[in-house]
């Protein structure tokens, strides 16, 4: 069974957000909708999303700035720009900043859903590659890491609970910790 896509949807048009959210939810898309980009950033600071669907022109913060902030928070999130005010310049800037796709309103609903699904598939492939890289790195360092620590780390990677890039250990293997705490783990202590 396919997992539900976690979608952050930010557009300043209330009626459009409500209408699109209602249409997307039955398609295994868990929509977290906001009409204020600043509020969206604050209220989703500790949540993880697969895909973000962003309007370009919004008060308080435009879609390009929101794209940059979301990518800083999570480089693997895929961003789709959906705008009624498109231009070649903004499309180029959005692509350069890491947008997966740039769509113009009005957009065929089937095309939007396809774009969301393709963005999600790209994110899953990137996460799978990262997990594979983590396993490879851990296996290369296995001789220097305590066996129980290595086993626990492999389980975290397998279960998708691992934080990218936190494998460490002493070169001598004298029992030092092999896993550095992530910022989220530190906050929980």
> Which of 88-92, 154-158, 159-163 holds the top average pLDDT?
88-92
Q: Is residue 16 part of a domain?
A: yes
Q: What is the DSSP letter of 147?
A: H
Residue range 37-60: average pLDDT? Answer: 94
What is residue 97's predicted lDDT score, i.e. its pLDDT? Answer: 93
Task: Note whether 119 and 178 are same-domain residues.
Answer: no
CA distance 142 to 122: 30
Task: Note whether 24 and 102 are same-domain residues.
Answer: yes
Task: Note whether 64 and 122 are same-domain residues.
Answer: yes
What is residue 171's predicted lDDT score, i.e. its pLDDT? Answer: 36
What is residue 105's predicted lDDT score, i.e. its pLDDT? Answer: 93
Task: Note whether 22 and 56 are same-domain residues.
Answer: yes
Task: Note whether 100 and 146 are same-domain residues.
Answer: no
Residue range 114-138: average pLDDT? Answer: 90
Q: What is the DSSP letter of 87?
A: -
Q: What is the DSSP letter of 153?
A: H
The verdict on whether omega for the bond into residue 106 sits within 30 degrees of 0, i.e. cis, is yes
| Residues 6+ positions from 9 with CB-CB distance below 8 Å | 17, 20, 21, 24, 31, 32, 33, 34, 52, 53
pLDDT category at 47 given cuts 50, 70, 90 is very high
Residue range 60-86: average pLDDT? Answer: 94
Q: Is the pLDDT at 94 greater than 90, yes or no?
A: yes
Residue range 43-61: average pLDDT? Answer: 94
Report percent pLDDT > 90 for the chain. 61
Task: Note whether 83 and 146 are same-domain residues.
Answer: no
Q: What is the mean pLDDT of the chain?
A: 84
Q: Is the pLDDT at 139 greater than 90, yes or no?
A: no
Q: Is residue 134 part of a domain?
A: no
**Domain range spanning residue 91?**
5-128
Q: Measured at the alpha carbon of residue 139, what is the angle toward residues 133 and 140, in degrees to the nearest 5?
A: 90
Q: Is residue 133 part of a domain?
A: no
pLDDT category at 2 given cuts 50, 70, 90 is low
Which of 78, 97, 128 terminates a domain? The answer is 128
Q: Is the pLDDT at 46 greater than 70, yes or no?
A: yes
The total domain count for the chain is: 2
What is residue 145's predicted lDDT score, i.e. its pLDDT? Answer: 65
pLDDT category at 163 given cuts 50, 70, 90 is low
Q: Is residue 111 part of a domain?
A: yes
| Residues 6+ positions from 174 with CB-CB distance below 8 Å | none
What is residue 157's predicted lDDT score, i.e. its pLDDT? Answer: 83
Contact 37, 66 (CB under 8 A): yes
């Amino acid at each position: 069974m396919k997992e539900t896509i976690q979608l952050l949807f930010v557009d300043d048009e209330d009626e459009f957000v409500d209408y699109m959210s209602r249409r997307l939810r039955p398609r295994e898309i868990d929509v977290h909708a906001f009409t204020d980009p600043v509020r969206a950033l604050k209220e989703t600071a500790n949540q993880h999303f697969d895909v973000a669907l962003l309007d370009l022109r919004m008060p308080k913060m435009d879609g390009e700035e929101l794209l940059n902030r979301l990518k800083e928070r999570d480089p693997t999130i895929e961003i789709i720009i959906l705008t009624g005010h498109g231009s070649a310049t903004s499309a180029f800037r959005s692509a350069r900043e890491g947008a997966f796709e740039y769509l113009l309103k009005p957009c065929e609903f089937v095309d939007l859903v396809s774009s969301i699904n393709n963005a999600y598939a790209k994110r899953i492939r990137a996460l799978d590659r990262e997990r594979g890289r983590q396993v490879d790195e851990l296996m290369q360092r296995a001789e220097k890491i305590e066996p129980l620590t290595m086993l626990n780390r492999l389980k975290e990677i397998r279960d998708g609970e691992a934080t990218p890039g936190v494998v460490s250990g002493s070169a001598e293997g004298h029992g030092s910790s092999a896993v550095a705490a992530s910022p989220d783990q530190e906050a929980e202590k």
